[in-house]
Amino acid sequence: MYKVLRTVRGIDIEHCADTPPKSSSGSEPYKMDKRDIEDMPPITEHGTTVELREAFYNPHTTPDRDLTIAVLAAFDRTVDPIESYLDTFAATGIRGLRAASELKLAVTLNDRDPDATYLIRQNIALNSLESSCVVTNEDANVLLHQRRFDVVDIDPFGSPAPFLAAASRSAIRLLCITATDTAPLCGAHLNAGIRKYASVPMNNEYHAEIGVRVLMGAIARALAVQEKAMVPLLAYARRHYVRVYAKVLKSVSSADKSMQELGFIAHCRHCSFRTWAAGLAPVIHESCPVCGSRVVATGPLWLGRLHDPAFLGSVLSELIDRESDKKSIKLVEMCRDEIDAPTFYDQHKICRALKIPPVRIDAVVDKLRDFGFAASRTHFSGTSFKTDADIRVIAEILSKGR
Ligand SMILES: C[S@@+](CC[C@H](N)C(=O)[O-])C[C@H]1O[C@@H](n2cnc3c(N)ncnc32)[C@H](O)[C@@H]1O
């Protein structure tokens, strides 16, 4: 068996790879240039240290990993105990290693790249996590079709679409899915969105939410094929990615209910009126009831809740107790407080049309509430709000009392 003994910062590393690293000839022991180790300093996140070498590592997504740890901790404590966690696209292993170290979970770390799995083994040793971590060197779809895991975490380059079917088959309790293909999801690359997600996205003022809902629609459909239902816990768009945490329920009737949450949003580009219709073949009226212009439809997408506020309360406690990144705390607070409505309104756009100056977004929310409507800020945009009032009422309220 291929075997290399190395010393990394005083720790002996035994490499028993099923597949030797790419750069090795296969017959000769792998000789790593010492500079490989010394050029890139190791990084530490919440007590877990990893060497990086050439594996993918993004320091800007540390808050996102903090959030993964808090979600897993909250799920394990308040929903279902987690017996196995698969970090399907592990790269350096940082996410899975943190789960093993901070939550004591049994973790499988997978990467298709043999250099990455070689590095992951070293990083496991560096953190003395051999007893709770297993490394696999498989294509994600092969592994996911072969094995079942309580939690499946999908964090690929670009679109998760090619992995949704296998991930939905493998996941027993929880799916964690990242998408960085925001242009296809949000309608900027229309045909790519249609190809990947079998949904027509739309590039408008609330395209970030449409992207989240298009992805959730695709996840719900992939789970339904397996007679499983998607129960959203947290779904958000941040920077250039979307992340969805969804509880998985194995039940035919729940899967049917989940499918009923799919539908279409009809939007008027002229006056910003929007409405929605559940179902995969709903009747959508072509003209806008407010201004008579033609409305355009986007979907099928998820029309149901994005978050479970009670669960997010537990996630917040975990984030605070673990002294997590403040950005994650703020994000979860915003998501917890968002009202359940399929779109949001951009105050600046409305004010431009009304030819009035915008005001503080909290003042808009308060005003809508004073008039008896449900309203909240939204994590999607600092200048936007969610409400159950329609565009005519919003315009009237925004114009009043200035
Ligand atoms: C975006 S990185 C993962 C980042 C990591 N989860 C983190 O938090 O730092 C994607 C990784 O997936 C691996 N990968 C790409 N395609 C794959 C596939 N089909 N199966 C398994 N791994 C794959 C790449 O080698 C790369 O290391």
> Residue 97: which residues within 8 A CB-CB, separation 6 or more?
48, 50, 107, 109, 123, 124, 127, 129, 133
Name the closest-CA residue to atom 4, ligand 1. 91
What residue ranges define each of the domains in the chain, with the CATH number in brackets? 4-260+304-310 (3.40.50.150), 344-402 (3.30.56.70)
Question: Residues 37-86: pLDDT tens digits?
Answer: 456 789 999 999 999 998 999 999 999 999 999 999 999 999 999 999 99
Q: Name the residue among 74, 142, 127, 54 with its Cα closest to residue 96.
A: 127
**pLDDT score of 400:** 84
Whether residue 130 has its Cβ less than 6 Å from ligand 1: no
The C-alpha angle 133, 134, 139, rounded to 5 degrees, equals: 135
Q: Model confidence over 126-180: pLDDT tens digits? A: 999 999 999 999 999 999 999 999 999 999 999 999 999 999 999 999 999 999 9
CB-CB neighbours of 36 under 10 Å: 14
Q: Could you read off the pLDDT of 61-71 as tens digits, one per residue?
A: 999 999 999 99
CA distance 280 to 224: 14
Please report the pLDDT score of residue 401 as a whole number.
58
Tell me which of 71, 111, 120, 143 to substitute to probe ligand 1's pocket, judged by most ligand atoms within 8 Å of the beta carbon: 111
Kind plus residue range of the DSSP H or E element containing 176 = strand 171-179
Q: Which two tokens stand for residue 56?
A: 């993918």
User: Smallest Cα–Cα separation from 186: which of 382, 390, 380?
Assistant: 380
Sheet holding 274-278, edge to edge: 274-278, 262-268, 295-302
Arithmetic mean of pLDDT over the chain:
91
Weakest mean pLDDT among 25-34, 118-127, 336-345, 374-383:
25-34
Q: Is 97 in the pocket of ligand 1 (CB under 6 A)?
A: no
Q: Which residues, 6 or more positions from 145, have their beta carbon under 8 angstroms from its beta carbon?
A: 166, 169, 170
- What pLDDT sits at residue 38? 52
113 lines ligand 1 (CB under 6 A): yes
Verify cis geometry, omega within 30 degrees of 0, for the bond prior to 300.
Answer: yes
Q: Is the pTM here over 0.85, yes or no? A: yes
In degrees and rounded to multiples of 5, residue 92 shows phi and psi of: -80, -20
DSSP string, 185-212: HHTTTHHHHHHHHSSB---STTHHHHHH
State the virtual CA torsion across 37, 38, 41, 47 in degrees, nearest 10.
60
71 lines ligand 1 (CB under 6 A): no
* 108 Cα: distance to centroid of ligand 1 (angstroms): 14
C-alpha 95 to ligand 1 mean position (Å)? 11
- The pLDDT tens digits of the residues spanning 228-261 come to 999 999 999 998 999 999 999 999 999 999 999 9
